[in-house]
């Protein structure tokens, strides 16, 4: 749950970079609302993910009898059109996509994008 | 367990139910230029 709090803390900065946050799990609506409440989350939360959805994105599954099965963590940074810019799959508590890495990745991509646009403009202004 | 997604792949079509009401269809309905999408354990 520390991961969810870390993203909440950086939500404003991510927003200025054009990045929104969405979290999802197999939790019921009631369970998800409890997570929102206890963690003080203000970003978008989805609930009721199915195994078919988990399979579609390649997550590992865990089982905690008698509670049942759940998704193991999987985290993605998506760009335009749903392009995967980064992915992280965990099989347990070790390994997460740190919010600082997301910020760094977006900053780097935006620098490259702006550099490309500037070069295009310069080439355009040189043409007769 | 399906195939894992890597950099350069297109995110598959999934529809998620939102606590705020309604659904979001990914990747069609990207809410912004970038999206940090976290599937957590629950």
- Does the beta-carbon distance from A23 to B12 stay under 8 Å? no
Of the partner residues B2, B18, B24, the one whose CB lies closest to the CB of residue A56 = B2
Q: Cβ separation of B5 and A84 shorter than 8 Å? A: yes
Rounded distance between C-alpha atoms, residue B30 and residue B6, angstroms: 18
Of residues A126 and B12, which shows the higher confidence score? B12
Q: DSSP letters of A22-65? A: EEE-S--HHHHHHHHHHHT--SEEEE---HHHHHHHT--EEEET
B23-41 pLDDT, tens digit each: 998 998 999 989 999 999 7
- Considering Cα of A46, then A102, then B7, then A94, what sign does the dihedral take? negative
Question: What rounded mean pLDDT belongs to chain B?
Answer: 92
Per-residue pLDDT tens digits for A16-58: 999 999 999 999 998 999 899 899 999 999 999 998 999 999 9
pLDDT at A126: 60
pLDDT of residue A18: 97
């Amino acid at each position: 749950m520390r991961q969810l709090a870390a993203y909440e803390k950086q939500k404003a900065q991510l927003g200025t970079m054009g990045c929104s946050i969405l979290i999802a799990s197999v939790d019921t609506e009631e369970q998800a609302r409890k997570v929102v409440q206890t963690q003080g989350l203000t970003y978008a939360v989805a609930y009721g993910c199915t195994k078919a959805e988990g399979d579609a994105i390649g997550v590992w599954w865990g089982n905690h009898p008698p509670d049942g099965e759940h998704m193991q963590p999987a985290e993605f940074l998506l760009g335009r059109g749903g392009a995967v810019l980064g992915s992280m799959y965990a099989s347990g508590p070790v390994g997460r996509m740190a919010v600082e890495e997301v910020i760094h990745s977006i900053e780097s991509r935006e620098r490259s994008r702006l550099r490309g646009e500037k070069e295009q403009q310069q080439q355009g202004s040189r043409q007769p | 367990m399906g195939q894992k997604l890597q950099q350069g792949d297109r995110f598959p079509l999934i529809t998620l139910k939102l606590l705020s009401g309604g659904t979001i269809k990914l990747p069609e309905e990207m809410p912004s230029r970038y999206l940090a999408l976290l599937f957590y354990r629950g």
